[in-house]
Amino acid sequence: MQAIQNTITYVKEQLADAEGGHDWWHTERVWKTAKHIAKSEEVDLLVVELGALLHDIADSKFHDGDESIGPRKARAFLHTLEIGENVINHVIRIIENISFKGGKEAQTFQSTELDVVQDADRLDALGAIGIARTFNYGGFKNREIYNPTISSDLNMTKEEYKKSNAPSINHFYEKLLLLKDRMNTATGKAVAAKRHQFMESYLKQFYSEWEGKL
């Protein structure tokens, strides 16, 4: 479909210099995973594909926490496509609600299409890829890998979560290991369980090596 091809071209251009964990390849993985999950759900596939492709077009963490840039850029682009306003609005709502923001805020929008794209995005934060992305972003932000004197904080507000500079290992406890129980679809839950187990095994090995055990 031409709308999808045009969106792929646009996203590749926009993310050409993006941080490695939030670049085109992340978007492509989410897009492919979303299409796979969608096979088992009753959804508008166009909305799912556009939502997946545009979900990280301007991640707020790279724009001083401004959550309005991504939806605004996506809406401007979507208006260049020959698609209905109802599709555009649905895609924008997905972009606005997809992220794990920390804190205790409830999600304000619900749709099966959002469930699918959100699961796809969360799955890319789990398993081997999730681990790689965590440490890539930590290096990008010049964070410590681990500091046993700095405990994980599971009670941060949304703003505290966004501003946190804690070591990368803390991110496993403050987000990644929480995702398994926050998946929406049956497919997402099944895959998340496997990747969650992999991360637990990784952490066990990490701490063993950190303590100098051979």
Residue ranges of the domains in the chain? Answer: 2-210
pLDDT of residue 63: 58
What sign does the CA torsion over 22, 26, 27, 31 have? Answer: negative
pLDDT of residue 117: 98
pLDDT of residue 20: 85
Give me the DSSP letters along 101-120.
--TTPPP----HHHHHHHHH
Two tokens, residue 23: 């670049």
Determine contact, residues 71/144, Cβ cutoff 8 Å: no
Residue 19 is which amino acid?
Answer: E
Give, in order, the Cα–Cα distances in Å from 35 to each of 96, 104, 144, 188, 214.
20, 29, 36, 12, 43
Annotation: CATH topology of 2-210: Hypothetical protein af1432 (1.10.3210)
Two tokens, residue 152: 């994980």
Round to whole Å and give the CA distance between 92 and 117: 12
Two tokens, residue 202: 């990784």
Q: How many CB atoms are closer than 10 A to CB 65?
A: 11
pLDDT of residue 170: 96
pLDDT of residue 174: 94
Determine contact, residues 143/167, Cβ cutoff 8 Å: yes
pLDDT of residue 62: 59
Two tokens, residue 158: 């949304």
pLDDT of residue 107: 73
Round to whole Å and give the CA distance between 4 and 28: 12
pLDDT of residue 101: 57
Instruction: Tell which residue, 120, 134, 150, has the closest CA to residue 48.
Output: 120
pLDDT of residue 93: 95
DSSP element (H, E) containing 134: helix 127-140
Residues of the chain falling short of pLDDT 70 = 58, 60-66, 100-106, 158, 162
Q: What's the predicted TM-score (pTM) here?
A: 0.91
Two tokens, residue 164: 């946190």
Residue 142 is which amino acid?
Answer: N
Q: How many CB atoms are closer than 10 A to CB 113?
A: 26
What sign does the CA torsion over 62, 66, 70, 76 have? Answer: negative
Query: In Å, how far from its chain's centre is CA 212?
Result: 33
